[in-house]
Every structure is written in structure tokens, then in C-alpha cells.
Structure 1
Amino acid sequence: MTVDASGPGVRDVVPLTGIRRTAARRMIKAWEAPAFTLTLTVDMSAALAVKQRDAQATVTDRLIECCARALVRHPQLNAWYDDLTVTRFGQVNIGVAVATDAGLMVPVVQGADRLALPEIRAARRDLVSRAREGRLGRADVTGGTFTISNLGMQGVDRFTAILNVPQVAILAIGATSERYVRRDGAGEWVPQADFTLTCDHRAVDGATGAAFLTELRALIETP
């Protein structure tokens, strides 16, 4: 359908260009994938204490660190799918979804599995800053092998993220909230968040996705 830009009620017509145009095309391909989702709840107590390790680090930095470690142990999710071929990578490059005035951008923390927490924090802060200033280059947004989308800061409790093709998996993280939990017969308030993993079923099966999520939860909950 063609929009009549001179018609009543039309505010403006904005053509998609550059990174946003590429992202739009990838989303169309993502809907073609036979995707499935898995969700589990994570105790965020240890993650919230990340500043005890690095005063300038954020929970997102800790999540990147844990995802990188889990992907090393579950390389089936650190992969691309294309034309009946699955390519697995020996380096973990984690994309982090960032909302900007120009739309959603996914800059990539390269080699996250080989970085210490302060290095992850520095790389993530630099990428996010340049994304919001419109200064990302092609090298900053290519080569990702896995993506994290965290909408918890926007108060979203749980959501399902669309695959960032050709990647075979993406992790959606909801808001952390205090929930009443009974343990060993006693009740307590625990900061928890829901993690939802979307997988391309052509490359990843349910058991593999579940094993990754379980491993990731164990890493995040470990002080």
C-alpha cells in the first residue's frame, strides 16, 4: 500500500535507510524461522551486588559476562543458521540491544568470553554511548553471535524477543522485582527476573536451549 503523503492526518513519511533498513529486512527473515521460546526465573541477588566487584559496572555487564561463559559451554547457541548450514563460532560476540533516537541498534561486544568484567563494562559503555550519539560504524554492529535484549529498565516484566538473524538465539530479560518465595519452610522476599530465550529450531532443540538457560541461571546466581 502506498501512503499519500499529502493526505489528511499524515504527519511525515520517513524512509528507512542504513542500519534501520537492514534491520527491517532481517526482521522479515526472522519471522520465517521456526522459533520457540523458553522462560525461567532467576534470583538476581548476586547480580545486583556486581558493584562490589567493579564500582562502575552494571547488572547488564554481569549478564554479558555470564552469557559469554555459558555460551562457551554451550556452543550450539553461539552460532548462525543460513541455507541449511549451522556455523558455530569459537569466539563469543554478544550484541546488546540499545534504544536510540534513530531506532533500535545492536552494537556488539567483541570477544566477550575473553574479557574480564571491567573490560566488558568499558566496551559496553563505549558502544552504548556511541550508539546514542549516532557514531557507530559497520564494524560495531556486525559479527554478533548472540544477542541480549534487556527491557527491565523500562519496567517490562516479561517479553519475547525476535531472533537477530542469522544468529540462532536471543535472550530477553525482564524487570527485577521483589517476589515472595518459600524455601525450606520459610518465606522471604527475593529479587527475581524472568529470562526468555528465543531459539531457531533448525539449529537448536529444546533440551539444548534448556541446558543453556539452566547453566546461565547458575552462573548469575553464584556470588
Structure 2
Amino acid sequence: MTEAPPGPQGTEEGTSVPLTGIRKAAAKQMVAAWAAPAFHLSTGVDMTEALKVRETIAGATVTDVIIRACAAALVQVPEMNAWYEDLSTRRFAQVNIGVAVATEAGLTVPVIHDASALDLAEIAERRRDAVQRARHGALKWADVSRGTFTISNLGMRDIDSFDAILNVPQVAILAVAATRPTPIPDGERGMRWRSVAQLTLSCDHRAVDGAAGAAFLEVVKAGIEAPIARPGG
């Protein structure tokens, strides 16, 4: 008995599935991002206080604490709140933070506009609305445009650390990994266990240097580790 030659349905040929919509746009974006000379900076952050946010502000999550901390850092280190354009950078007065959201159609990045002017409860409200509309395919162009910085949070996944790809033309993106129980030195008391997450900042070296990136991460770390104030407190 003669075997039939493999055809379009055969396992050797496979099936071609063209990229469309969000995935097609993302593929083009990744090609541009890969051309940028990126460097990466990582630090461990104590998430103990941030994890209490659900008990303090209804509907808030750790992501909202990270957004708030990044907004403050972008104000203090303005060179990070920028786009790289042909041999120049464009800095922005308004802080517009994108949050990467996985949807059935692919990865999308709704933007929390003017994040530095919002308190934690307001950030949480806008983030919830944006994520819900992203997952229902209800975002408009205004919801995903004018971002000046991006956060990619995989803290809900079993990921120890990762480097996020730049969301060009933005000059930086922050990757947030899972929170792990971690022993850390505690002076004469020896070691203590704390909830620690690895943050990794990817930067476009054409626009910013390591000193600016390190300064930015220091402010983000301090903001995340600070106690959460109750609304009106």
C-alpha cells in the first residue's frame, strides 16, 4: 500500500494562520522594538505593604500600587517619561501609563492618562474599567494612545523574573514578576521572611542611561514599599 504524499493538511506542512488585528500590529511593533539598543536593570521589592491594598481600598490591586509608584517616579525622573524619535527625545509633562493586558485577541495596552494627578482609588477605578473594556474588545483609539510609559505585570503567573520588550517609541518599560517569600538580612536579628517581587526595567540606551534608570527604580521601590494610606487619611 502506497502512502499518500503529505499535503496542506499533513503534519509536515502544518497550517498557515495569518496574523490579523492586534497580533499583526504587535508583530510590527516588536520588530521596531528589537532594533532599539536596550539595557535592563533589576531590583527586589518588598511587596508586604502593597499586598495590603485590597484591605484598604475596595477593588484596588497591587498593580494599582505599582502604577502610582511609577507615576511618582516619572515626575521625579522626567527623562524616563519620554519617547525616542530620530536622534532626539520628546519629554512629556503629562504621565500616561500603559498597562499590558492579555486578551483573546492578543496583548493590548490601555493607557491610564494623567496618572500622576490621580490618587490610588482613582487609579484603581480607571484601571478596572480599562482592563474590562480591553477584554471585551471595547477600547477606542483614545484608550490606547499617547502612552509615555508601560507596565507589564506577570505577578499572577509563576514567573521569577523577565525582561519586557520596549513599547516603542517609549523609552522604558517595567516588568513585574511573581511575589515570593524571601529571606532578607535584618541586622542583629539575622534573617526575616518578606514577600519580594523582582522588578526589571528595560530602557532604550539611545535616550536614557543607567543612572537615570537606577534613580527611577529607587523611587518606584520606595513608593511600593511605603504603607498604603486609607482614603481621606
TM-score with structure 2 setting the length: 0.90
1:161 paired residue number: 164
Does residue 185 of structure 1 match 2:167? no
1:36 paired residue number: 39
2:146 paired residue number: 143
Aligned residues: 220
1:27 paired residue number: 30
Work out whether residues 5 and 13 of structure 1, in 8 Å CA contact, stay in contact via their aligned partners in 2. Answer: no
CA distances 1:90-140 after superposition (whole Å, capped 9, x unpaired): 011111011111111111111111111111111111111111111111111
Does residue 205 of structure 1 match 2:209? yes
Tell me how far apart the structure 1 counterparts of residues 210 and 187 of structure 2 sit (CA, whole Å).
30
Choose the corresponding residue for 1:127, options 114, 125, 130: 130
Tell me how far apart the structure 1 counterparts of residues 88 and 128 of structure 2 sit (CA, whole Å).
34
- Compute the displacement of 1:184 (Å): 0.9
Cα RMSD (Å) = 1.6
Secondary structure of 1:174's partner?
Answer: strand
Choose the corresponding residue for 2:48, options 39, 42, 45: 45
Does residue 194 of structure 1 match 2:194? no
Greater CA drift, 4-13 or 16-25: 4-13
2:10 paired residue number: 8
From the superposition, tell whether residues 12 and 136 of structure 1 become closer, same or farther in structure 2 (CA, over 3 Å): farther
Work out whether residues 168 and 204 of structure 1, in 8 Å CA contact, stay in contact via their aligned partners in 2. Answer: yes
Secondary structure of 1:185's partner?
Answer: helix
Secondary structure of 1:130's partner?
Answer: helix
1:18 paired residue number: 21
Q: Give 1 or 2 for the bigger CA radius of gyration.
A: 2
Work out whether residues 169 and 200 of structure 1, in 8 Å CA contact, stay in contact via their aligned partners in 2. Answer: yes
Identity across the alignment (%): 57
Work out whether residues 5 and 12 of structure 1, in 8 Å CA contact, stay in contact via their aligned partners in 2. Answer: no
Secondary structure of 1:153's partner?
Answer: coil
1:214 paired residue number: 218
2:109 paired residue number: 106
Does residue 86 of structure 1 match 2:89? yes
Tell me how far apart the structure 2 counterparts of residues 17 and 88 of structure 1 sit (CA, whole Å).
32
Work out whether residues 94 and 110 of structure 1, in 8 Å CA contact, stay in contact via their aligned partners in 2. Answer: yes
Structure 1 stretches of at least 4 aligned residues deviating more than 4 Å after TM superposition: none
